[in-house]
Amino acid sequence: MSAYPHGLDEMIRLPRDEAAALLWLNVDESDPAQAAVLDAWLDQEPANREAWLRAQAIWSGFDGAGDEATLRVLRRRAAKASRPLSPRWMAAAAVFVVAIGLGLWLAERPVPSLPPPVVQASAVFGEPDLVSGEQMLTFDLPDGSKASLAPGSALDLAYDHGGRAMRLVKGRAFFDVVPDRARPFTVEAGGRRITALGTRFDVRLDQGPLRVTLVEGQVSVARTIDATDGPGRPVVLAAGQQLTAAPGRDLVSPAEAAGAAAWRETSITFEDKPLSEVVAELNRHSAAKLVIDDPKVAALRVTGRFRTGDPQRFLRTLAQVLPVRGEPAGPGRYRIVRAD
């Protein structure tokens, strides 16, 4: 490993926020010499640690903006930098030149949100009424309940005056149900019928056998008439339990209820994780997939907050902080390779 070319004395002479930006974008914490510089600078004053946190938040803000116009601004500022620094250090300095006037606004500005579309449903099953593409989508159902679909999922609705029925055709869905004892809320999936009155639960068909995780309330899970594994007694789940469909007798086990709802988050934060792990987690939230063939690229460390369901935005951001780039690798696939 090479020695870190900029020592603690130089970091102390720089404005605190600029030093934080340069350290955050350039330090390889797996290198003991570089990690020592960072640790010594952070330990010098409490204000240094605050600047370090601001640096991460500001860069995450650029990820939130993430468009080509912003990146062009950064490149123009970097090209005009007068300090005789390497290109990556010039870019880091440019980040904070822009950040003073723009970055904090990007990191902290409220994100406008549109209300979920209200869905119209027929009284019988047919073609899927709700289909998600490459991003997670949340819908307002006709009764005021909500259904969130993971990428690549499809849900068929059948609402009438006597009940609220739906069928998960594929993928994964999270339901936030409005109580209505006169109209049971049912979801059919994988040969099972889940019945709820007012509750929050997760149904997963995308990996392995059917799994139902109850976050709040109570649901009953019974085999449907056409279940391939025969009849069985209905199973009642309490909050924090998960049912896994199995021949003969379904299995009930404790579950991390928070984890069942976590996939609906629109961004994920990583702290010094290998790029391979980051990619694997982001792929869980997107129908479009990222792939890495080069072990050295897979081992690169990543810290930051990234929006889920948008691999192209992630690749643009990643290319600004690591020596990599993204390239098409077939329909719905992108390969991360070393930058030329």
How close are the terminal C-alpha atoms of the chain, in Å? 21
> According to CATH, where is 2.60.120.1440 located in the chain?
130-261
The yes-or-no verdict on residue 244 having pLDDT over 80 is yes
**232, 197 contact by CB (below 8 A):** no
pLDDT in tens, 168-204: 999 999 999 999 888 899 999 999 999 997 899 999 9
Residue range 151-177: mean pLDDT, rounded: 90
Q: Does pLDDT of 258 surpass 60? A: yes
Name the more confident of 298 and 256.
Answer: 298
Q: Return the higher-pLDDT residue of 215 and 9.
A: 215
Specify the pLDDT at position 116: 46
More confident residue, 40 or 102: 40
If one counts every other C-beta atom within 10 angstroms of the C-beta of residue 83, the result is 9
Report domain 130-261's class. mainly beta
Provide the whole-model pTM: 0.50
Q: What is the CATH number of domain 265-338?
A: 3.55.50.30
Nearest to 272 by CA among 297, 245, 296, 300: 300
Cα 312 to its chain centre, rounded Å, is 14
d(CA 170, CA 82): 56
Q: Phi first, then psi: what are they for 138, rounded to 5°?
A: -120, 135
Find the mean pLDDT for residues 213-219. 92
Mean pLDDT score across all residues of the chain: 75
pLDDT at 236 over 80: yes
Enumerate the CATH 3.55.50.30 domain ranges in the chain, comma separated.
265-338
* CA 240 from centroid of its chain's CA atoms: 22
